[in-house]
Amino acid sequence: MKKLRGLIVLPAILLAGCILIDACSPAGKAVADNKADNAGRVLTGAEQTEKYLPYLQGKRVGILANPTTVIGKKHLVDSLMNRGINIVKVFGPEHGFRGKASAGAKVQDETDSATGIPIISLYGPKRKPSAADLADVDIMIFDVQDVGCRFYTYINVMRDIMESCAENKKELMILDRPNPNGYLVDGPILDMRFKSGIGQFPIPITHGMTIGEFAQMINGQKWMANNLQCNLKIIPLANYRHDMPYTLPVAPSPNLNTQQSVMLYPALCLFEGTIISQGRGTYTPFAVLGAPALKGQYDYSFTPRSIAGMAETPLHMDEACYGLNLLNYDINEMRRSGRINLQWMIELYKAYPIKEKFFDRSYSKQMGDINKLAGTDLFQQQIKEGKTADEIRASWEPGLSEYKKMRLQYLLYP
């Protein structure tokens, strides 16, 4: 990929049926202007209002938003309305527009009490806007914070929004945000036999892309129904690199409520397919690991409780869980290694006294499917066979290397 005076020159596959960043548009100019201040702080697409507000004037705007959709401490919807932008409806993903729903809880359509705008839920009876939903919309905006993992489902939501926009000939503006795990490209490529709500694309566990870059990949790889192409306008980040540390200003979801949990999520979410609690039902989810059966093998313990808005019926509720405290784990360790930590999974499987329960969902309705989380049925077998982390990682090739090469053609940032 080459850059010439603000124009992003992209492979031909990306240009068919898709408008990306216009060379003469505010977004295109931003790519060139942002080079001038490499020492400046990262600016999200939403923060660079001068790049897109003129384009929205006079248009009827729909927006996919949640509590991470902010400019500073103010929600983007409130900010745009105060600036005279005509927002006709909001679409809410998992947890809802204002983030009041628990993980996995169905969300109903409603009217936003703060603005009076209709809110269409995309985490209830339907998962993408209908033709009727978009009939009075001239342009859609997507602005939600992602964390760079295949099983973090906002990339699925974005694909569905793109598909609806393509079907109904609506333009989609993406206000890009940093990927806090953008440095990390690792994990097995999803075997599409295990395609599910937590794995929709043939990508590794951590894809190493921003949401704007991933949208380009969806278009370029033709991952929408009937090879549809979405007309995209991306407002890029300023002063961003994939390898830079980035602390999220807003928790991306109720159970990723600290920077520690966000950085540990690529490794610890795999435990949702096991009998081991990842701390749901505590105020430190995705930063601790444990189970009642590990009593006597570990000194550290925690007790999951029912917490409204976070975990109403967590695994091992009201039972003391013994295991690993990762609250003070050096989260830069994975950054230095460039790899997902597999040692915790290996260690806790070896330590667990009842091996047949470790991955078996029949023992707990709160457990997820490890094959769907890992994207392959080989991972579970490798852990059971006592394979080392290096042996497991070797089995991810050549798929992982092929993905890394493919990814390069869609990047907007170094």
Residue 222, token pair as written in the block: 């033709």
Nearest in space to 409 (alpha carbons), one of 174, 221, 177, 259: 221
Q: pLDDT, tens digit, for every residue of 84-114?
A: 999 999 998 865 565 454 454 556 667 777 7
- Residue pair 53/249 in contact (Cβ under 8 Å)? The answer is no
Confidence of residue 126 (pLDDT cuts 50, 70, 90): confident
- Give the global pTM: 0.88
Res 13 pLDDT > 60: no
| Domains of the chain and CATH, by start | 2-248+403-408 (3.40.50.12170), 259-376 (no CATH)
Residue type, 48: Q
Res 133 pLDDT > 70: yes
Q: pLDDT, tens digit, for every residue of 317-366?
A: 999 999 999 999 999 898 999 999 999 999 999 999 999 999 999 999 99
The CA-based diameter of the chain, rounded to the nearest angstrom, is 66
Strand-pair partners of 393: none
